[in-house]
Amino acid sequence: MFGKEIKSITDLHCHILPGIDDGAENLESAIALLKEQKAQGVDRIVFTPHFWSFQKTVKQFSKDRYNAAEQLAPYLDEFGIEWGAGAEVRMTPELLKMDLRHLNIVGTSYFLLEWPFTQFPLYGREVVEQIQDLDYTPIFAHIERYDYFWSNPRELDDYIDEGIVCQINPGILLNSDTRKYALKMIRDGYVHVLSSDAHSMEKRPPHLKVAYQIVEKGLGRRYSDKLKSNAECIFYGHEIE
Ligand SMILES: [Fe+2]
């Protein structure tokens, strides 16, 4: 009825690169995460270490990311995983004074942005515009973590009209207390991408397979396939509908 089911999974947000942030501590942990991703059907991964403006320069960040990716590259080849590099950029007022080029997902115009968790920042709109002025499309990371958006989704309407992409983590679907509302948010068009945000096998293991199964069971395959194809489009730098 809806064509062939999309089997392969693309992960656009994770902390698997070894030793660069609070994700995989070392190469061994990173390989364990890759194995688990592969077992779940993940064929494409964008590595998005945290970028905190107060911690290091963009140049230093890019260098550290390159070195970490170089360590992991042979294993990615072995597992047959296509990969890309990006950053999860924490929104801070300092961003307004910075050149934000080179923090996008390499080879695409997408830019993964993490908002503050507690309060809507007054400078938030300005940061988004700064990113858009570079012709980048912001992806709002794990929107379920910001109550000012998650409980008031109409606050996202203008952003979504501008083409901004909203991502959620599997946890909000796996938790039976929050599942129903998360499915409603997907159905209502407030969620465009599902990503693992995996940190380690202990702290936050990847759970994409089961999360997609929950979407399929709750809303139908049309929705789970759409989320999968959106992530794949972004990976290859294409626009999503
Ligand atoms: Fe993250």
Distance CA 229, CA 222 (A): 10
Query: What per-residue confidence (pLDDT) applies to 6?
Result: 79
Query: What per-residue confidence (pLDDT) applies to 98?
Result: 96
Residue 216 CA to ligand 1 center (angstroms) comes to 24
Residue whose structure tokens are 């794949």: 232
Walk across the sheet containing 193-194 and list its strands: 50-51, 88-90, 110-114, 137-140, 165-168, 193-194
Digits of tens for pLDDT over the chain (241 positions)? Answer: 456 777 899 999 999 999 999 999 999 999 999 999 999 999 999 999 999 999 999 999 999 999 999 999 999 999 999 999 999 999 999 999 999 999 999 999 999 999 999 999 999 999 999 999 999 999 999 999 999 999 999 999 999 999 999 999 999 999 999 999 999 999 999 999 999 999 999 989 999 999 999 999 999 999 999 999 999 999 999 999 7
DSSP 159: H
Residue 208 CA to ligand 1 center (angstroms) comes to 14
Domain 9-235 has CATH 3.20.20.140: yes
- Angle, CA of 33, 39 and 40, to the nearest 5°: 90
Residue 4 CA to ligand 1 center (angstroms) comes to 31
Residue 192 CA to ligand 1 center (angstroms) comes to 16
CB 19 within 8 A of CB 53: no
Determine the 3-state secondary structure of 178 from DSSP.
Answer: coil
Query: What per-residue confidence (pLDDT) applies to 2?
Result: 53
Residue whose structure tokens are 């809303």: 219
Burial readout 215-239 (b: 16 or more C-beta within 10 A, e: otherwise): bbebbebebbbbbbebbbbbbeeee
CB 198 within 8 A of CB 24: no
Residue 161 CA to ligand 1 center (angstroms) comes to 24
Distance CA 59, CA 101 (A): 11
Over its C-alpha atoms, the chain yields an Rg (Å, rounded) of 17
Phi, psi of 61 (to 5 degrees): -60, -45
Predicted confidence (pLDDT) per residue in 175-233, tens digit: 999 999 999 999 999 999 999 999 999 989 999 999 999 999 999 999 999 999 999 99
Residue 169 CA to ligand 1 center (angstroms) comes to 9
pTM listed for this prediction: 0.97
Query: What per-residue confidence (pLDDT) applies to 1?
Result: 44
